[in-house]
Amino acid sequence: MKVPVDWLREYVAHEASTAELVERLTISTCNVQHVFRRGVADEDGNLGFEAGKHPNADRLQLCLVDVGEPEPRQIVCGAWNFGAGATVAVALPGAVLPGGQRLERAKLRGSVSEGMILSERELDLGDDHAGILVLADPAEPGTPLADVLPLGGEVIEVETTPNRPDLLSVYGIAREVAALFEAPLAPMPGADPEPAAPAGPVDVRIEDLEGCPRYIGRVFTGVRVGPSPPWLKARLKAAGMRPISNVVDVTNYVMHALGNPLHAFDRAKLAEGRIVVRRAGRGEELTTLDGNLRRLDERDLVIADAERAVAVAGIMGGAETEVTQATAEVLLEAANFEPIGLLRTSERLGLRTEGSNRWEKGVDPHLAGPAAALATQLIVELAGATWVGRSDVQGDLPERPVVRLRPERADHLIGLTTPPAEQAAILGRLGFDAAAEPSNTVLQVTVPTWRARDVTREVDVVEEIARFRLAEVPYTLPARREMFGRLSKEQRLRRLVEDVLVGCGFFEAYTPSLVAQDENEHALRIPQPQSSDQAVLRTRILPGLIEAARHNLAAGNSGIALFEIARVYLPSGEALPDERWRLAGIAQGGFAEAKGAVETLHAALHLEPRFARAREHPYHPGKAASFTGGTVGELEPGLLEGDWAVFEIDLETLLAEVPERREYEDVITFPPLRLDLALVVDEEVPAGELVDAAREAAGPALRSSRVFDVYRGDQVAAGRKSVAIAFEFGSPERTLTDEDGARLRDFVAKALRDRFAAELRT
């Protein structure tokens, strides 16, 4: 959220510099992303733009402008929306406009122009560039324009956490600044003007008080819709909002000032002038202000008139009832909406607005009254309206929570001693009421309404005190009096896995645990997701790595090899999922890239992988193999451009196979006996099963075996293949002879012939 510093100072009179303000807010309240200056640069007297009085204007657009000097300035101007005697904004040669343009004395259409008569856009006060800015109030020629208009100022951009919707307003930030600097906080702006006559009731009916606990409706007649004054446009622009018209701008201004979104309807377009807050009907549709037809759900809360829906509650109004230049009668809405249902509607419709962003975090229901008062005051002042009707329909608004605080508990958790009186003073500056119980050992803390959703426990109150003491925490490490603790076996093995994969040329990646959707239809769905992209707890890591590889490809990277070790969340049938440690990897290249990494990992863990055919998404059919705890293979074609190797392993299953200790085995005293066998078997027989069967048959005499060739061709019958296996035999007691080798070869060949009908190739 963008907060203009001059607007902030209107609510809290503090003497701190912007740098000090940013530092204190960042430590105690919210992250300040950056600070920038809006509008005209304040350097080298550049703010000395002048108000000039224009004596005449002819068809040649050649103007003589009095800028307070002995002689008028001649300025060529292309606008025609002013006449003789108008007070205008002038920039003289040498001035620098927003955007960095420096004005120079120039010759235009054969006439010398000694400056520029400025429009709103050239001063960053609005988007209007069709005509120049004519000042409504006369000013002495030569008056610095900064004394007349808000030409610029510093803006801080803050990032708030979801639990602090009260900070999504200038007044909310001002409340924090007042507490931080112990500065006086101005009363909340806005006061109801006196109605022209006793204001009559507005026909407001709430059918769902749970979804809308409060609705204030106010009616104005004699409304003159038009442009907002420059000060209002400037504030909205600084806050990152586009000025539209005085009535609409007032609703946006109040939302940014106080944090309560508002909406204005053209009352003449409301059937029977009625407001009904209800759930949408089956198949009901609404064209919203952005021009899109929205198909509503029966769970969606809508604002309706006597006949049809006219707005999606708290999110966006309908196009049929929007305020236009022809509007003469306005119905102002200042309401409060339940956050969870509104968030679900916003996500389902794919529609997020400045208003919905506030509602879904929980706006103080007691804020609707002050927001309606400020908006009423501004509509009457800026649109010349007459306030003629009002209603305030509400259910049971929540009471202020009361929390018991033990001051010594706060000291224990914070690590700093804060006297009870000082704790009460800090809370008081934040709007909490703290009163000591008769025992004087406990404070009864009454939470303000704007923090009622966030502060509900003793530790929440402690946090409020703690964040005001953070700057006093000494930069020292805690004293270490004992040395104990070490990594568990699982932690050591996970670190070993990381080191091995880095050694294989992989880079570690971190991908989100929350995803938009999961291939497992029973995957756990978050009840209140932050967004539709973070709605489900993943059951696999590999899809996230595939997406990461896709981003790397789009960025032009090559030689991509990524791995991730993280938890997945498997459906358990219970309230909580089964959390498992998984390892996944992806690399450019064929099957060998992934299989090599998997084999290297097994070797480092002193395990021997046994591979079997696998068919599993997203692996290439026929180019995937399973092993204990995982699968390795090529990525299914079409998911990424080129050939990619992937694997995913359940680490807990794999690491459970790691032996507790390795016993010494003599492999050097007597040389090994090496034999190669080529066996012809049916195509369906996996090579890995041949190796396993040979190991069982040969027993401890077989030290190692590996497949080094698979042949299919004219020398082998159709439907058969030749698998060449290298065997290494050995004995810890003697050197094996050729006779031993012939006996072992015949023994293994017979076992494979009996089990797989394998034939020895000669």
Amino acid at 479: A
CATH superfamily of 489-655: Bira Bifunctional Protein; Domain 2 (3.30.930.10)
Query: What is the residue-wise DSSP string for 352-414?
Result: --HHHHHHTT---GGGHHHHHHHHHHHHHHHH--EEEEEEEEE--PPPPPEEEE-HHHHHHHH
Catalogue the E-assigned strands of 186-273: 204-206, 214-221, 262-266
Please tell us whether the domain made up of 402-472 is placed in CATH 3.40.50.12140: no
The 3-state DSSP composition of the chain as helix, strand, coil percent (nearest 5) reads 30, 25, 45
Closest C-alpha to 431, from 421, 446, 444: 446
Looking at residue 10, its pLDDT comes to 92
Q: Give the HSE-up count for residue 621: Cα atoms under 13 Å, Cβ half-sphere.
A: 1
Q: Assess contact for 136 and 127: CB atoms under 8 A.
A: no
Beta bridge partners of residue 309, listed in sequence order: 304
CATH of domain 2-40+154-181: 3.30.56.10
Please give the CATH topology (third level) of the domain spanning 673-760: Alpha-Beta Plaits (3.30.70)
Q: Is the dihedral of CA 364, 369, 370, 372 positive or negative?
A: positive
Residue carrying structure tokens 């797989």:
756
- The CATH architecture one would assign to domain 50-150 is Beta Barrel (2.40)
Cα–Cα separations (whole angstroms), residue 85 to 55, 66, 139: 5, 10, 11
Residue carrying structure tokens 């004087």:
440
Q: Assess contact for 362 and 407: CB atoms under 8 A.
A: no
Q: Assess contact for 589 and 535: CB atoms under 8 A.
A: no
Cis (ω within 30 of 0) for the bond into 98? no
Q: Where are the domains of the chain?
A: 2-40+154-181, 50-150, 204-394, 402-472, 489-655, 673-760
What burial class does residue 528 get, using C-beta atoms within 10 Å of its C-beta: 0-12 exposed, 13-18 middle, 19+ buried?
exposed
Looking at residue 41, its pLDDT comes to 63
Q: Assess contact for 385 and 222: CB atoms under 8 A.
A: yes
Q: Assess contact for 759 and 679: CB atoms under 8 A.
A: yes
The two structure tokens encoding residue 626: 């399973």
What span, in angstroms and rounded, lies between the C-alpha atoms of 441 and 453? 26
DSSP, collapsed to helix, strand or coil, labels residue 285 as: strand
Torsion of CA 167, 168, 173, 174, to 10 degrees: -120
The two structure tokens encoding residue 187: 């009363």
The rounded average pLDDT for each run of 10 residues, N- to C-terminus, in the chain (762 residues) is 91 90 90 79 55 49 75 75 74 76 72 77 70 72 72 85 92 94 92 67 93 95 92 89 94 96 96 95 93 94 95 95 95 95 92 93 94 95 92 91 94 91 94 87 93 94 93 77 79 94 95 92 86 90 95 92 96 90 93 90 90 88 90 92 94 89 75 90 87 86 87 89 92 89 89 90 73
DSSP, collapsed to helix, strand or coil, labels residue 62 as: strand
Closest C-alpha to 160, from 148, 170, 149: 170
What span, in angstroms and rounded, lies between the C-alpha atoms of 673 and 736? 7
Amino acid at 668: I
What span, in angstroms and rounded, lies between the C-alpha atoms of 226 and 210? 37
Chain centroid to Cα 469, Å, comes to: 29
Closest C-alpha to 511, from 568, 575, 462, 460: 568
H or E segment and range at residue 420: helix 420-429
Q: Is the dihedral of CA 50, 55, 58, 60 positive or negative?
A: negative
Looking at residue 45, its pLDDT comes to 53
Q: Assess contact for 430 and 407: CB atoms under 8 A.
A: no
What burial class does residue 487 get, using C-beta atoms within 10 Å of its C-beta: 0-12 exposed, 13-18 middle, 19+ buried?
exposed
What burial class does residue 37 get, using C-beta atoms within 10 Å of its C-beta: 0-12 exposed, 13-18 middle, 19+ buried?
middle
Residue carrying structure tokens 């756990």:
524
The two structure tokens encoding residue 704: 């190692």
Closest C-alpha to 679, from 743, 642, 628, 727: 727
Catalogue the E-assigned strands of 124-213: 143-144, 152-159, 204-206
CB count in 10 Å sphere of residue 223 = 22
Q: Is the dihedral of CA 449, 455, 456, 457 positive or negative?
A: negative
Residue carrying structure tokens 């929980």:
362
Looking at residue 376, its pLDDT comes to 95
Looking at residue 538, its pLDDT comes to 95
What burial class does residue 714 get, using C-beta atoms within 10 Å of its C-beta: 0-12 exposed, 13-18 middle, 19+ buried?
exposed
Q: What is the pTM of this model?
A: 0.64
Residue carrying structure tokens 């429009």:
119
Looking at residue 276, its pLDDT comes to 96
Name 471's Cβ contacts closer than 8 Å, sequence gap at least 6: 24, 27, 28
Cα–Cα separations (whole angstroms), residue 517 to 572, 585, 619: 18, 20, 19
What span, in angstroms and rounded, lies between the C-alpha atoms of 157 and 173? 11
What span, in angstroms and rounded, lies between the C-alpha atoms of 329 and 548? 54
Q: Assess contact for 327 and 247: CB atoms under 8 A.
A: yes
Please give the CATH topology (third level) of the domain spanning 204-394: Phenylalanyl-tRNA Synthetase; Chain B, domain 3 (3.50.40)
Terminus-to-terminus CA distance in the chain, angstroms?
Answer: 80
What span, in angstroms and rounded, lies between the C-alpha atoms of 155 and 161? 19
Q: Is the dihedral of CA 74, 80, 86, 88 positive or negative?
A: negative
What span, in angstroms and rounded, lies between the C-alpha atoms of 27 and 5? 18
What burial class does residue 669 get, using C-beta atoms within 10 Å of its C-beta: 0-12 exposed, 13-18 middle, 19+ buried?
exposed
The two structure tokens encoding residue 169: 């307003």
DSSP, collapsed to helix, strand or coil, labels residue 700 as: helix
Q: Assess contact for 492 and 543: CB atoms under 8 A.
A: no
- Count of H-run helices and E-run strands, the chain: 17, 38
What span, in angstroms and rounded, lies between the C-alpha atoms of 260 and 372? 9
The two structure tokens encoding residue 205: 């009916």
Q: Do domains 2-40+154-181 and 204-394 have the same CATH topology?
A: no
